[in-house]
Structure 1
Amino acid sequence: MLIRTVAHEFLRRQGLTTIFGNPGSNELPFLAELPGEFRYVLGLHEGAVVSMADGYAQATGRPALVNLHAASGSGNAMGALTNAVYSRTPLVLTAGQQVRSAIGLEAMLSNVDAAQLMRPLVGWAAEPATAADVPRSLAQAVFEARLRRRPSYLSVPYDDWTAEADANTAAVLDRDVERSAHPDPAQLDRLVAELQAARNPALVLGGDLDTDGLFDEVTALAERMGADTWGAPSLFRLPFPNRHPLFRGVLPAGIAPIAQALEGHDLVLVLGAPVFRYHQHEPGDLLPAGTRLVQVTDDAEAAARAPMGRALVTDPGAVVRALLKALPEPPEQPREYTTPATPAQPRSDDVLHPEQVFAALRDTQPADTRYVVESTSTSRAWWRQIDLRRGASYFWPASGGLGFGLPAAVGVALADGDRPVVGVIGDGSANYGITALWTAAQHRLPVTVVLMRNGTYGALQWFADLLGTPDAPGTTIPGMDFTTIAEGYGVTGVQATDLDHLRALLAEPTDTPRLVQVDTESTRLR
């Protein structure tokens, strides 16, 4: 199946079968083999083309599709486009682009920096990075125009249209996105019916829920549904107690392992999270066969760009509360929280395994401790040992950019003196925000920094193994003593000599900042 075939079918399902345009050579591959129900409305200048589409969309109350000719046709359309912007008309503008191999050469009819050309007039603009992403990008253009009530723009290299679609491309055909300030009864009735009809539903919960203070309510919803519950991949806040018997962990951030994790679930309800924030490239099916997905989010852009599933753009909290009222209460049963596994042991007596460190934190710190975590290579060990049962207990760098952890721990401590704050920081990331120690000292904040020192960029070494580049330079950082660095900034720094010493240090209360350095084993392969 060709990319063009998938795009035509998506447009047909969305009711975008009338195309306004003035074609050039770059647009012909898209227009070839149009299904019989499509109608092409020819205009003799792009200004007239856009104005016709503008009037059509305003009269029908639906988005209209416009096909422009590369940069020249896009430029000709701009004057008329200003009218559509201020009338908030949801136009979907597509433009032909030179073949991919010729764009960098600036061959005739290349649209140089195509997405930038139409900004700031359009609300969203893009050029897909690959041919396989064209149908999903086209869907995003449609949904962005609909959700923003503003024109969107998509430039597509013309050789993409005749490329073969991959196995995941057709997932876009079943996409739908609805928006509501508050979910209306019909939307809720549909969602309740889907959940009640599901044989084995699952919940995927995003950090937005914890940000909005919904920790207890989503816990109650999971119990009401009796559903396996996951944290969304690339989780930056924890919206659910991780030792709850329904919690299945944080989803991995790869396409294939997510599908594997969700195997056996016929319906997946994603609340307050994108679908999905992938990281490592592990291709595969987007979802298991027979699995449907419904996303509820107030992030219109996240809903528009998702590659699969149905989305409802509304307040997730309102949906959670409505579902709690609509779904029957199960028989009351005591929660039996799961017990952490016995911590893994290091391969050398000179270091501790990260699981030993996290078990020590779990056993010595108050239950309401807030943890700011930026030790990226030890995530699996963290979730195997930690026990978090309150909202706003976990903070993680949402974009993956290093330098969040230490300053964020200081910020959390400044914001709330009623709960203890611990920063769990890797030596690779510590250097990006090390000056935050000075601020902690100046404000005499009772924050504990547990500095995990293994002399490497552990996550980078894991990726080197994944990508088959184990000889890449720049992945080790030996020879740093953070206790000395901390003292220079006015913060007490102590080296933990063994596990008993670490536990004793952590058990001591503090009313000033301190840094506890502990040498740990690299866990990138374990």
Structure 2
Amino acid sequence: MTAGSPADAGDRTVREAALEVLREHGLTTVFANPGSTEVSFLTDLPGDLRFVLALHEGSVVGMATGWAIANDRPALVQLHTTAGLGNAVGALATARVNRAPLVVLVGQQDRRHLAQEPFLAGRLEGLAGDYPVWVKQPERAQDVPGAIARAHVEAVTHGGPAVVIVPMDDWEASAEETARRAAPLRVLRPVPAPPPDDPAAAEIAALLDGARSPAIVAGSANDTEEGWAALVGLAERLDCPVWQESFGARAGFPQDHRLFAGHLPADRPRLRTTFAENDVVIAVGAPVFRQYQYHPGALVEPGTRTVLVSADSDEVGRSPADVAVYAPVAPFVDRLAGLVGRRTGGGPAGRAVEHPEPPAPGEPLTPAHVFTALAARITPDTVLVEETPSSRPEMHALLPARRPLGFLSAAMGGLGFALPAAIGVRMARPERPVIAVVGDGSSLYQVQALWSAARYGAGVLFVVLSNGRYAIMDRLAEQHGGKPPWPAFDDVSVSALAHGLGCPARRVETHGDLVAALDEIVPTLLVRDEPVVLDVAVAAGRTFRP
């Protein structure tokens, strides 16, 4: 039998060998939107593999991303040749920047006539650009199981999507025992503690001890139980303010702690002002420093020294920090906390956040009213998945993250993440209440995900802030000194779309309706298996500034 030819009766196929690899690595939930090039793999899928359908590839990858982040292990994705991979590229970019490990199988036309570029043949290897951490179309059908094992290794070690392109006829080819795996069955990630005499920890400790006024920036890479505990220990020893990185995908420090100072501004003038009194700033699992719109000048004043602690080699390589430490974040910070001297008396006493009063009769709701109502009702272990660009500062101020995985967003900045990611988080962590807070414009990028939430019993509360326009874009156009050419879309009903996709929804237009809905729904979030959309009418302009 030649390589790639169909297996005889009784022979093990490439598909069977690949299924063994998937089981070995715990890749038994398949997030997919399939096409013809995937049929030979998916038909008669064994009962121990769970198939999860989404109606668009952005939702497929978004759900898998939320699942992978919540489980801290790779999720399995299957996409359909050029159209499927192309539709998913934006979501794959988000997964890469959010450091979500994904094993992505992409279908390809039959290997036996690829040279003639038949219908549905894809030029796939470069289609997603540099966002996959690894891409491979195996040379032979028999190398597919090993490539899947290798993709698992790459996804784990590099924290992102690893892609395997599989021609559709490969699944039915005869497998070879020697080609079953070409990578370790398990990749262990020990987190070594720095030795007592670690020179890097000693140098940074001396720098902090010699500082007149240190400050800390906490980042997404510190969002673990160990990371939070270590950074709380360091901050309390230094008795110094802790800032959250700007536009972070996750929270790196408890935002209800007395030392939490708020979220960093994402422009250089305000950043220089923020750190004007600090002579040493140490960023822990966060870049130095994430920017948005360009402004000239330095990131910090000349008298301020910056330190980066990161386990991301790319982040270390591009950082303008004065000193960069490449190390596992939590154990290094824990060691650092044990080396620095204790300061007392000079630290901040927490932020005073003033919640807005309910609107007067006849006045419209604002996002801040919604966040205040949520803050009064949700538990500390609630996972908030955010995608509301025009009201993100208010949400940060009024809905602080109080537990690891308490906040999740798209570090890439692209829209269409929150709805599917919240579903994936809820599927992975049913013991955590999950609320997605999104703008109506954002929701429309992946509104199809609501069908999957209803179909698979993901009991997420989707709070959609509906102002009928791209409010953040309107604001930017005004700052630019002109008027936008894009129209409002206030004739679009998110609640009607949700109903059409089989997801329960209700329209909320008054504060009384909002409070009644939240009082009914929020207490059920821990146990509910039915999603619900609150389509909340809010004013377009910002009426609250934290």
Same fold? TM cut 0.5: yes
Structure label with greater radius of gyration = 1
The alignment of Structure 1 onto Structure 2 pairs a total of residues equal to 351
Name the counterpart of 1:280. Answer: 293
5+ long unaligned stretches in structure 1: 1-115, 124-147, 149-179
Q: In structure 1, what is the Cα distance between the partners aligned to 2:332 and 2:450?
A: 41
How far residue 237 of structure 1 moved from its aligned partner, in angstroms, is 0.4
Name the counterpart of 1:229. Answer: 242
Return the letter of the residue paired with 2:483.
D
Q: In structure 2, what is the Cα distance between the partners aligned to 1:348 and 1:293?
A: 50
Name the counterpart of 1:519. Answer: 537
* Alpha carbons of structure 1 residues 379 and 475: separation in structure 2 relative to 1, 3 Å: farther
Q: In structure 2, what is the Cα distance between the partners aligned to 1:260 and 1:489?
A: 48
State yes or no: 1:423 paired with 2:456. no
State yes or no: 1:487 paired with 2:505. no
* Alpha carbons of structure 1 residues 279 and 497: separation in structure 2 relative to 1, 3 Å: same
| 8 Å contact from structure 1 (residues 231, 249) kept in 2 | yes
Return the letter of the residue paired with 1:237.
R
Deviations 1:463-512 (A, max 9, x none): 223333x3221263221111111111111111123112211211223411
How far residue 439 of structure 1 moved from its aligned partner, in angstroms, is 0.7
Deviations 1:197-253 (A, max 9, x none): 000000011111005751232122211211111001111101112232211111011
Residues 120-159 of structure 1 aligned to structure 2 (within 5 Å): none
| 8 Å contact from structure 2 (residues 209, 341) kept in 1 | no
Deviations 1:318-351 (A, max 9, x none): 2111012223456799997655313167699352
| 8 Å contact from structure 2 (residues 438, 464) kept in 1 | yes
Name the counterpart of 2:79. Answer: none
Name the counterpart of 2:490. Answer: 478
Q: In structure 2, what is the Cα distance between the partners aligned to 1:284 and 1:319?
A: 32
Return the letter of the residue paired with 2:220.
G
Name the counterpart of 1:432. Answer: 445
Q: In structure 1, what is the Cα distance between the partners aligned to 2:347 and 2:260?
A: 15
Q: In structure 1, what is the Cα distance between the partners aligned to 2:214 and 2:351?
A: 21
State yes or no: 1:505 paired with 2:523. no
| 8 Å contact from structure 1 (residues 211, 237) kept in 2 | no
Taking CA–CA contacts closer than 8 Å with sequence separation of 6 or more, which of the two structures ends up with the larger relative contact order?
2
| 8 Å contact from structure 1 (residues 378, 523) kept in 2 | no
Q: In structure 1, what is the Cα distance between the partners aligned to 2:461 and 2:268?
A: 36
Decide which of 201, 215, 233 is 1:220's aligned counterpart: 233
How far residue 437 of structure 1 moved from its aligned partner, in angstroms, is 0.4
Q: In structure 2, what is the Cα distance between the partners aligned to 1:413 and 1:206?
A: 23
| 8 Å contact from structure 2 (residues 385, 434) kept in 1 | yes
* Alpha carbons of structure 1 residues 277 and 491: separation in structure 2 relative to 1, 3 Å: same
Return the letter of the residue paired with 1:507.
D
Name the counterpart of 2:308. Answer: 295
How far residue 387 of structure 1 moved from its aligned partner, in angstroms, is 3.4
Residues 67-466 of structure 1 aligned to structure 2 (within 5 Å): 185-210=198-223, 213-328=226-341, 338-343=351-356, 349-466=362-479
Q: In structure 1, what is the Cα distance between the partners aligned to 2:403 and 2:310?
A: 22
| 8 Å contact from structure 1 (residues 275, 295) kept in 2 | yes
* Alpha carbons of structure 1 residues 378 and 346: separation in structure 2 relative to 1, 3 Å: farther
Q: In structure 2, what is the Cα distance between the partners aligned to 1:389 and 1:450?
A: 20
TM-score (norm 1): 0.62
Name the counterpart of 1:86. Answer: none
| 8 Å contact from structure 2 (residues 219, 286) kept in 1 | yes
| 8 Å contact from structure 2 (residues 261, 351) kept in 1 | no
* Alpha carbons of structure 1 residues 417 and 181: separation in structure 2 relative to 1, 3 Å: closer
How far residue 517 of structure 1 moved from its aligned partner, in angstroms, is 1.1
Give me the CA root mean square deviation: 3.0
How far residue 266 of structure 1 moved from its aligned partner, in angstroms, is 0.3
| SS in structure 1 at match of 2:469 | coil
Name the counterpart of 1:24. Answer: none
* Alpha carbons of structure 1 residues 497 and 306: separation in structure 2 relative to 1, 3 Å: same
Q: In structure 1, what is the Cα distance between the partners aligned to 2:324 and 2:352?
A: 36
| SS in structure 2 at match of 1:379 | helix
